[in-house]
Every structure is written in C-alpha cells, then in structure tokens.
Amino acid sequence: METRLPHQYALLLILTPGLHASLLAAAGILYTRWLKFVWKIALIRVAICPDCLFL
C-alpha cells in the first residue's frame, strides 16, 4: 500500500523544478566564468601575436 501523502507529491513537484533551476543557474555561472577566462586568453594571444590565434 502507498504510504506517500498527496502533499508529499506536491512538495516533490515544487522542489524538483527549483533544484533544476538552481543547477542550471550554477552551470550558467560556471560557463560564463569559463567563457570570460577563455576570451581573456584569446585576447592576450591576439595582442601578443595576431597570427597565433589560428594555430
């Protein structure tokens, strides 16, 4: 027999999208930081040697 109550299902439904959203937010923050880091390296490489970017 099922022991879970309807409010527990509701709580799961509420918490799951929140968890997904926070994971997406964390992933987005990490991705943008990584992107800024890579972009900075690319700019430095171009500043030092414009042809080096294509190597």
Kindly report, residue by residue over 7-45, the tens digit of the pLDDT.
Answer: 777 777 777 878 888 888 999 999 999 999 999 988 888
In a domain, 3, yes or no: no
Whether residue 46 is contained in a domain is answered as yes
Q: Does 54 score more than 80 pLDDT? A: no
* Residue span of the structural domain in which 50 resides: 30-55
What is the reported pLDDT for 12?
Answer: 76
Tell me the HSE value of 9 on the side-chain side, using a 13 A CA sphere: 5
Would you say residue 2 has pLDDT above 70? no
Q: How many domains does the chain have?
A: 1
55 pLDDT tier (thresholds 50, 70, 90): low
Q: What is the pLDDT of residue 13?
A: 72
Q: Give the predicted TM-score (pTM) of the model.
A: 0.48
For residue 36, tell me if it sits in a domain: yes
